[in-house]
Chain A
Amino acid sequence: MQKRLVLDQQQIAITLKRICYQLIENHDDFDNTVILGLQPRGTILMEKIVKLLEEISGDKVPFGALDATFHRDDFRRRDFPLKANETKIDFLVEGKKVILIDDVLYKGRSVRAAMDAMIAFGRPQKVELLVLVDRKLTRDYPIMPDYCGIRVNTLDSQYVVVEWAGKGQEQDAIWITEKVKN
């Protein structure tokens, strides 16, 4: 299978740091900001961002995990329903600035579903989107990230794979691979 490296461990570390500084620039001391990681993979990135923000600025930003499975628009259009993950949000987003975090922005449908799911926890003042990889040519919905690690040109026939050290991998890495044809 063809596999192309997009970012390696060192590049990812630099990228995450850069995103954190951008967040600090826009959110100052984060006193009215909360972070929501999208299940299942956005939460891993969220944990890294939250940890980095604390290291850099000393600010502890409230965070939670948001699962949008029950809000997806492809229910009954797949052969079987997707398995839901845990939603764990111990606060309301009413009047808050929310930073939604996911690893890869592809069609924009998951983010749309996530915004729908998020509204169950209140009406936020503002919502921003942070992604590590923006697959800029494959969008179905008019959704753009506010913070982005890297923009890549990909086809629907490709996958973007984000690997994290400690989650079954030796090193952090982002790859583009070809989907296996049946």
Chain B
Amino acid sequence: MSQLSTRHLLGIKDVTESDIRLILETAANFKEVINRPIKKVPSLRDITIANIFFENSTRTRLSFELAEKRLSADVVNFSSSNSSVKKGETLVDTVNNILAMKVDMVVMRHASPGAPHFLSRNVKANIVNAGDGTHEHPTQALLDSFSMQEKLGDLAGKKVAIIGDILHSRVALSNIFCLQKLGAEVMVCGPITLLPKYISSLGVKVELDVKKALEWCDVANVLRIQLERQQIKYFPSLREYSLYYGINKKMLDSLNKEIVLMHPGPINRGVELSSDAADSAHSIILDQVENGVAVRMAVLYLLAGARN
């Protein structure tokens, strides 16, 4: 099958394993496209896509915009900081006004979990979730799995540790769903205050000692401490966090095994990752960024492809 089971990408929880595999296979084709001398294909030339970002973003917004332009789509960008949202306009009104300008797809980031789901029930366009609060970030999980697959082959039976601020991370949740659907084993590791209370009910292992997590895993996906989402103190200081949960090259080298180091960015160098680890041979952080464009091209292509 070359068709997704859904017309929106709202979260990895809602898609099937075969959807994920189709997206990853198509992304491999697009990775070849973006490495050609001329990196553009005409597939989406009659499609207009609105990138609606109610939250800050650098990588994801650029990556989506580049993916859209490589597919020849027309792109309009919107950020809430200089919009009528500040004047009290509702989400549905804002988006319907944008859609009245004949927009076919909406890529949205929003601080509220479930905002893209709400939108998908109220507007006609295809919706792609580019991150909804602490809920899901599906394209990040897909590009992470794509990058892991590129390095390790099929992920069935592979061990992936997600390390850091799991509580506030949409990347963690989407990664857990995606990796489990692809047959990988998942462990979460972090200070107990930054692990959701019922996380083990998702079928993941829980580890508090980062060294044990590193010894266990084939891949360490390290997450940023999301200070902007923390209303209370979850640990005494960044220095202490770094001391107990920071990963450096010495730790990685001492494992005496191949380990793949990932980070969705932006990195807080010296907090969750030292510079020598982030820039080491273990790291595939910049591959993740390149793969992000290919994966987003695949998602947009497959969602736009079905006849409306």
Please report A residues at the B interface, Cβ cutoff 8 Å.
Answer: 67, 69-71, 75-88, 92, 116-117, 119-122
Closest residue of chain B to A73, judged by CB?
B42
The number of residue pairs between A and B whose CB atoms lie closer than 8 Å in the complex comes to 72
The answer on a CB contact under 8 Å between B301 and A119 is no
Name the prevailing secondary structure of the B interface residues: loop
The answer on a CB contact under 8 Å between A71 and B41 is yes
Q: Mark B24-58, 1 if CB is under 8 A from A, else 0.
A: 01101110110011111111101100000000000
Please report B residues at the A interface, Cβ cutoff 8 Å.
Answer: 1-3, 22, 25-26, 28-30, 32-33, 36-44, 46-47, 71, 301-302, 304-308
Which of B26, B38, B306 lies in contact with A80, CB distance below 8 A?
B306
Chain A min CB distance to B2 (Å): 4
Residues of B with C-beta under 8 A to A86: 28-29, 32
The answer on a CB contact under 8 Å between B307 and A70 is no
Residues of B with C-beta under 8 A to A71: 41-43
Chain B min CB distance to A116 (Å): 7
Chain B min CB distance to A111 (Å): 16
Q: List 20 A-B contacts (CB under 8 A).
A: A70-B30, A75-B304, A75-B305, A76-B47, A76-B306, A77-B307, A79-B3, A79-B306, A80-B2, A80-B306, A81-B305, A83-B2, A83-B22, A86-B28, A86-B29, A87-B33, A88-B32, A120-B36, A120-B37, A121-B37
Q: Using A70-B43, A120-B38 as known contacts, say yes or no to A84 and B306 having CB atoms under 8 A apart.
A: no
Residues of A with C-beta under 8 A to B29: 67, 69-70, 84-87
Distance between Cα atoms of A121 and B43 in the complex (Å) = 18
Chain B min CB distance to A161 (Å): 21
Distance between Cα atoms of A35 and B161 in the complex (Å) = 46
A76-B308, A83-B2, A83-B22 given; 19 more Cβ-contact pairs under 8 Å: A70-B30, A70-B33, A70-B42, A70-B43, A70-B71, A75-B44, A76-B46, A76-B305, A79-B306, A80-B1, A81-B3, A81-B305, A81-B306, A85-B29, A86-B28, A116-B42, A117-B41, A120-B37, A121-B37
Name the prevailing secondary structure of the A interface residues: loop
Distance between Cα atoms of A81 and B47 in the complex (Å) = 15
Residues of B with C-beta under 8 A to A81: 2-3, 301-302, 305-306
The answer on a CB contact under 8 Å between B37 and A70 is no
Closest residue of chain A to B28, judged by CB?
A86
Top 3 A-B pairs ranked by shortest CB distance? A81-B305, A80-B3, A83-B2
The answer on a CB contact under 8 Å between B307 and A78 is yes
Q: Using A76-B305, A79-B306 as known contacts, say yes or no to A84 and B38 having CB atoms under 8 A apart.
A: no
Distance between Cα atoms of A117 and B40 in the complex (Å) = 10
Distance between Cα atoms of A103 and B176 in the complex (Å) = 45
